[in-house]
Amino acid sequence: MADDNLPEDSKLTLTKRKWADQGKFLTGRIARPDTDRLPPGQHLVKNWPVLDLGQQPRVSPAQRKLDVRGLVNNPITFDWASFHALPQKEMRSDIHCVTTWSRYDNDWKGVSTHDLLDAVDPRQEAVAVMLTSYDGYTTNLLLSDFAVPDAIVVTHWDGKPLTEEHGGPVRLVVPHLYFWKSAKWLHRIEFLSRDQAGFWEKNGYHMRGDPWAEERYSDD
On the question of pLDDT at 29 being above 90, the answer is no
Stated pTM of the model: 0.84
Q: pLDDT by residue (tens digit) across 95-120?
A: 999 999 999 999 999 999 999 999 99
Residue 50: which pLDDT band, with cuts at 50, 70 and 90? Answer: confident
Q: Taking the domains of the chain in order of start, what are their residue ranges?
A: 37-47+63-213
Question: CA nearest 134: which of 197, 203, 51, 58?
Answer: 58
Residue 59 or residue 26, greater confidence:
59
Residue 136 or residue 62, greater confidence:
136
Q: pLDDT by residue (tens digit) across 134-177?
A: 989 999 999 999 999 999 999 999 999 999 889 889 999 999 99
CA angle (162 as vertex; 147, 167 as ends), nearest 5: 70
Calculate the average pLDDT of the chain.
88
On the question of pLDDT at 40 being above 90, the answer is yes
As assigned by CATH, the class of the 37-47+63-213 domain is alpha beta
CB-based contact 186:171 (threshold 8 Å): yes
> How many Å from the N-terminal Cα to the C-terminal Cα in the chain?
21
At 125 the pLDDT is 98
On the question of pLDDT at 20 being above 70, the answer is no
Look up residue 163 and give its DSSP letter: P
At 219 the pLDDT is 72
Q: Strand pairing partners for 157?
A: 108, 160
At 1 the pLDDT is 42
CB-based contact 126:196 (threshold 8 Å): no
Q: pLDDT by residue (tens digit) across 172-191?
A: 999 999 999 999 999 999 99
